[in-house]
Structure 1
């Protein structure tokens, strides 16, 4: 238990540091959007590409991992829609709750995997990213188009174009192609990408902390509480059950379950704002999820290591 906490605490300490730096105005506010852009388009894709390009994908139970993580997303999406009548919220607010049920914070996921699970865990997490990112993007856009306060009609072509352009997805796909084709990373480019990728986790986690909104968190009500319970407890429980059903080995199962236990991604706020979702509720969900995850993820990590 001590080893798990020692591995995870630095990850969440960076989030808290980012929040403190933003609150103290240690850096100008203009710094944080640039840091997020650098992480999203440059350093995280470098990390994902280099990791998937050199990983031993042949040793992974690809079908079991895919079935477990995509099955978790599907079940969580179905469950949140099923309890919609009970929640009694406006359609726009429900679109934000829907995003909160399925969208994971990839930055935290990769940091936790790197700190706790080593190269194999990082590879499994990268595979989860490649599978989940397009799935939740499509579902989230459809949910916002259907329930959000907007008159936008989302075409299939434009939706697929937005998904394909996602830099995290493309990094995983291209890295996997390089891996499968046996090219490997060239002598200069490989080390360059690895060094560049090392900057992804600290910058990304600091940006996550800087984006926390305690004012929005104080507005959280019962729907946000249910969202937090679902994303941080029910979702990993579903993932663990599906991993057992599909025979995913315990080492790989740990990565899948922890990925399913991630708090909601900050990108959900942008989509809620653009497509008529409840942006204030979305900010509450993201902040509460992240703060609670500081306590819940170490507990889940201890539980999956005990399996």
Structure 2
């Protein structure tokens, strides 16, 4: 019950977004514009500020960073291997797999940062911000590469134009160089970035659609099982292997159990793939996230 109460505020925003999109004049075209605003401006600002605002001690955070990167590599390897597993090669379309593999290892940062603050307070949000910061470049590169390869598009061009990679790189460089925005700009950046969480959760709800999931059941089951079952288990094992403390373990488990990124279908559609199918997987992942996050918090408590 306690875990459900912790999750309810953020998932309530997702439900509100769904209801607004389906039953009011704020229909899908409105939310597509909001989604672009969040993806290209609001969330990059939030990500940059989250990384810059607290001095990053790479030595002190090295175990958490190592565990986070190992978790990402695990998810990517499992996702990419799906078509070559026994019995799946004949039933998984390689082009659909190129667009859908990202579901298994990308993550909804809005929910992660909101959840971390609710469970662990501001220090926990900073721990998840570190995980997001070091994982975003790897996750986006791994998402873009198979689609660029199958779609014969420029991989380098897609990566360097990604706003999340740009914001993360800028934030890490500024942090390590000891640079920070002036005080008069901090409040403005805080308000811009803070709005990204609420709007990001609302757009996740507005983008939910399940009708396209009738096809590709094996592929969908595979990537969602990795995202919501295997990733939390891997995180629990990695927390023990890296000797993480209680707060770091909880942050890693929250990070591992998040629903996939709501921008997965934006990227797939922009690169010429079946965005509707990916959107259906994002929807189902958002629903499953309630169970996986609750399970992850229980694992964290049982450590």
| Range into which the TM-score falls when normalised by the shorter chain | 0.7 to 0.9
Q: CA deviation at 1:184?
A: 4.2
Q: Which residue of 2 aligns with 1:226?
A: 222
Residues 1:140 and 1:41: Cα distance change in structure 2 (over 3 Å): closer
Q: CA deviation at 1:122?
A: 1.7
SS at match of 2:107: coil
Instruction: For structure 1, list consecutive stretches of 5 or more residues without a partner in the other structure.
Output: none
Q: Which residue of 2 aligns with 1:38?
A: 37
Instruction: For structure 2, list consecutive stretches of 5 or more residues without a partner in the other structure.
Output: none
Between the aligned partners of 1:178 and 1:229, the Cα distance in structure 2 is: 37
Contact 2:28 2:206 (C-alpha < 8 Å) held by counterparts: no
1:303 aligns to 2:299 (yes or no): yes
Equivalent of 1:126 in 129, 143, 149: 129
Give the total of aligned pairs.
299
Q: Deviations over 1:193-226 (max 9, x none)?
A: 1222221111110001000003224556233123
Aligned pairs for 1:108-123 within 5 A: 108-123=111-126
Normalising by structure 1, we get a TM-score of 0.86
Residues 1:57 and 1:133: Cα distance change in structure 2 (over 3 Å): same
Q: Which residue of 1 aligns with 2:248?
A: 252
Q: Which residue of 2 aligns with 1:82?
A: 81
SS at match of 2:183: coil
Q: Deviations over 1:79-135 (max 9, x none)?
A: 233342332211112213422222212222222223222222222222222222211
Q: CA deviation at 1:60?
A: 7.0
Between the aligned partners of 2:165 and 2:38, the Cα distance in structure 1 is: 14
Normalising by structure 2, we get a TM-score of 0.87
Residues 1:28 and 1:97: Cα distance change in structure 2 (over 3 Å): closer
Between the aligned partners of 1:38 and 1:140, the Cα distance in structure 2 is: 21
- CA-atom RMSD, angstroms? 2.4
Q: Which residue of 2 aligns with 1:285?
A: 281
Q: Which residue of 2 aligns with 1:63?
A: 62
Between the aligned partners of 1:119 and 1:302, the Cα distance in structure 2 is: 21
